[in-house]
Structure 1
Amino acid sequence: MLRIAVPNKGSLSEPAVQLLKEAGYSQRRDGRALVHVDERNDVEFFYLRPRDVAVYVGQGIVDVGITGRDLLIDSGAPAIEHLELGFGGSTFRYAAPAGVAASVQDIHGKRVATSYPRLVTEHLAQFGVEADVVRLDGAVESSVRLGVADVVADVVSTGTTLRAAGLDIFGDPILKSEAVLIRDERSDAEKIAVLTGRLRGVLTARRFVLVDYDVPGDRLEEAIAVSPGFEAPTVTPLHGSDWQAVRVMVPRADINDIMDRLYAVGARAILATELLAVRV
């Protein structure tokens, strides 16, 4: 039975559960349950603190898990990043009051408050910078005003929270993180392959839609140039006509532009259909 660790709370929890559901796995009905067995798929789910997922995977207690790249690195666990999952994106940055620091080198000898001490320590070491890294579990942006630190290292989305605390972001990003599937190198490769294929199928389906349209035969190549597809379109002659029916996968983000351009080259009956899962 494949053992999978899932975040039990936080910003990664709900998207992770939804991804697994779309991949065909049942999930717990009681939000307080710590374990759920999906007998049909021969899988056992463990709902753990996001910070603990990498530790359990790295020790081989569970086979795979979903966590953030930042949490994986900060844990120091020997788990392996296996697959990017396309949600939970974040950027990790340094920030300080104006005039305190403008580059990583300016952090030398200062106090840095963060919830990710290992990650920050390793990043500073890459630049030969020595600093006093102060671990905090929350409200990192308040640490400078309270006199605990000179600089903070924290997850940044818009930067509004840091600016409200009188801090300016500086330097290049420490890390760009997102949710990832991680694995223990000793895990059953065959069972993980099934899980990986399902997750990739859902992620691909989220990025593409299926488009069907009819086009005159003499405009077919123009239409295909507009919508070349994931690999190549399927083309079928329409009965009793010189028109062709085309089916193709196109990027979801481009769908309206592609439909406009197809119409402009003479395509008609243009339909876009949602995909639930694919295997490519």
Structure 2
Amino acid sequence: MLRIAIPNKGSLSETALQMLAEAGYATRRDSKTLHLIDDANGVEFFYLRPRDIATYVARGALDVGITGRDLLLDVRMPAAREIQALGFGDSTFRFASPGGAFSELAELEGKRVATSYSGLVEAFLGERGISVDVVPLDGAVESAVKLGVADAVADVVSTGTTLRQAGLEIFGPVLLESEAVLIQGPSGADGVDTLLRRLQGVLVARRYVMLDYDLPEQLLPQAVEIAGGIESPTVSPLDREGWVAARVMVRRREANRVMDELYALGARALLVTAIHNARI
């Protein structure tokens, strides 16, 4: 069986479970469940702390796992590698310090930097030849400067409000743009390709919708210019002479614009339907 690690809690857990359900896999009903066998699909799920997943996968105890790119890079174990970005759990890592204290990374040399991602920060600064005293914390790193244990912090930033409330300002480049990822270890187990195709199918279904419309056949070349689909539209003759029905996949975020343009061209009976899964 393919052994898969899933976040047992936190921001990644719920969306990961939903994605696996959409991909046709069994999911746990009780949040206290730590192990689940899906015989129908030949997989075994282990629900673990997100921070531990990359370690288990890298050591070969589990075949694949869903975790954050930040957590993967933080453990610094090359045996585990990212094989698919999953499009959720986005986060951005930045440096911050009291206003005006630092303006560029080189000024951190020899300073104390508080973070919950010691490995990530050390690797990032080490690649740039900057040596710092990393202060490892398990959370709320924005308080470290005020409490006198650090000169700067490295943390996840969304709007920056929390940092500003702590009297800190962002400086320097982005450390990392992170998101949930599927990672694979050294085992090379059977079933990884099937899992990957299914998850990619869910990603496609979330990005695209199916658009159906009718229009005069002579307008079809212009309609294809507006919405060409993955390969090309599926076209069928209508009972109404000179008219055809077309079906095409379009990006979800562009669907309304495409409908407007097709309607202006002369298309009618435009319908959009969701795609639950796909293989492209």
What TM-score results when the alignment is normalised by the length of structure 2? 0.98
Matched, 1:131 2:132: yes
Deviations 1:14-70 (A, max 9, x none): 010000000000111111111011111111100000000000000111100000000
Counterpart code for 2:54: A
> Which stretch of structure 1 is more off in the superposition, 98-107 or 191-200?
98-107
Q: How does 1:193-204 map to 2 (within 5 A)?
A: 193-204=193-204
> Which stretch of structure 1 is more off in the superposition, 72-81 or 141-150?
72-81
List 4+ stretches of structure 1 deviating above 6 A.
Answer: none
Which position in structure 2 is the counterpart of 1:153? 154
Which position in structure 2 is the counterpart of 1:42? 42
Task: State how far apart, in whole Å, the 2-side matches of 1:240 and 1:267 are.
Answer: 14
Deviations 1:145-168 (A, max 9, x none): 000100000011111100110000
Task: State how far apart, in whole Å, the 1-side matches of 2:251 and 2:177 are.
Answer: 24
What is the DSSP-based 3-state SS (H/G/I as helix, E as strand, rest coil) of the residue aligned with 2:154?
Answer: strand
What TM-score results when the alignment is normalised by the length of structure 1? 0.98
Residue 229 of structure 1 and its aligned partner are, at CA, apart by 0.8
Residue 240 of structure 1 and its aligned partner are, at CA, apart by 4.3
Q: How does 1:192-271 map to 2 (within 5 A)?
A: 192-271=192-271
Q: How does 1:73-222 map to 2 (within 5 A)?
A: 73-77=73-77, 78-188=79-189, 190-222=190-222
Which position in structure 2 is the counterpart of 1:272? 272
What is the DSSP-based 3-state SS (H/G/I as helix, E as strand, rest coil) of the residue aligned with 1:55?
Answer: helix
Residue 99 of structure 1 and its aligned partner are, at CA, apart by 1.7
Residue 230 of structure 1 and its aligned partner are, at CA, apart by 1.6
Which position in structure 1 is the counterpart of 2:13? 13
What is the DSSP-based 3-state SS (H/G/I as helix, E as strand, rest coil) of the residue aligned with 1:198?
Answer: helix
> Which stretch of structure 1 is more off in the superposition, 132-141 or 230-239?
230-239
Task: State how far apart, in whole Å, the 2-side matches of 1:214 and 1:29 are.
Answer: 44
What is the DSSP-based 3-state SS (H/G/I as helix, E as strand, rest coil) of the residue aligned with 1:229?
Answer: coil
Residue 76 of structure 1 and its aligned partner are, at CA, apart by 1.6
Q: How does 1:21-60 map to 2 (within 5 A)?
A: 21-60=21-60
Can you give the 5+ residue segments of structure 1 that lack an aligned partner in the other structure? none
Counterpart code for 2:53: V
Percent sequence identity is 57
Task: State how far apart, in whole Å, the 1-side matches of 2:62 and 2:240 are.
Answer: 59
Task: State how far apart, in whole Å, the 2-side matches of 1:28 and 1:272 are.
Answer: 32
Counterpart code for 2:101: V
> Which stretch of structure 1 is more off in the superposition, 128-137 or 223-232?
223-232
Task: State how far apart, in whole Å, the 1-side matches of 2:159 and 2:265 are.
Answer: 41
Residue 239 of structure 1 and its aligned partner are, at CA, apart by 2.4
Residue 237 of structure 1 and its aligned partner are, at CA, apart by 1.5
Can you give the 5+ residue segments of structure 2 that lack an aligned partner in the other structure? none
Residue 252 of structure 1 and its aligned partner are, at CA, apart by 0.1
What is the DSSP-based 3-state SS (H/G/I as helix, E as strand, rest coil) of the residue aligned with 2:89?
Answer: coil
Counterpart code for 2:209: V
Between the two proteins, the alignment pairs up a number of residues equal to 279
Task: State how far apart, in whole Å, the 2-side matches of 1:30 and 1:103 are.
Answer: 48
Counterpart code for 2:13: S
